[in-house]
Structure formats: C-alpha cells, structure tokens
Amino acid sequence: MSAVIVVTPNRWSTKADESGHFVLPDVRPGTYTVVAWHKSAGFFRKTVRVTNAGSDAVEFTIPLSDDGTIQQARK
C-alpha cells in the first residue's frame, strides 16, 4: 500500500486527465513556474507567461518506459 500527499504553496494544483492534459483556471497575468511531479520520475519545472489572452501550452515529457519505470539516459 502507498499514499501520496502533495502540498502546494498556492491555490493552484491539478491532476492531468487520461490524455495528459490539464488546466489551471483563474490565473492572473504574470510569469510563473509550473511544476509537474511524478512519483517515480520526480519534479519537472517550466516557466510560463500568462497574459490577458491566456498562455501558451506547457508540455512536460516524463521519461517513463511503457512499463512505468524511468528510462535510462542513452550514451
């Protein structure tokens, strides 16, 4: 048995849907760091700029194999 508790320093958090998409609603314009976390692969960070028109898509690539294990870097 295992459990995960995620504490965020702000009011924005979400979980990706089955296709890997997520939305953070009601974010004011500004520059932010978006942090993705996977229990096997760890933390991934991207900077995103939000304007009144919205923001560009943020894409994270989590290096997992089909069996859910972390892929090793190739030499």
Domain span at residue 63 reads: 26-69
The full DSSP string for 5-20 is ----SSS------TTS
Q: What are phi and psi of 57, to 5 degrees?
A: -65, 145
Domain count, the chain: 1
Domain contains 65: yes
Instruction: Dump pLDDT digits (tens) for 1-56.
Output: 888 887 888 888 888 899 988 888 889 999 999 998 888 888 899 999 999 998 88
Window from 22-26, 29-33, 62-66, 70-74 with minimum mean pLDDT: 70-74
pLDDT at 37: 86
pLDDT on residue 55: 85
**Is the whole model's pTM more than 0.75, yes or no?**
no
Q: Is the pLDDT of residue 74 over 90?
A: no
Q: For residue 21, is it within any domain?
A: no
Within 10 Å of residue 32's Cβ, how many Cβ atoms?
Answer: 18
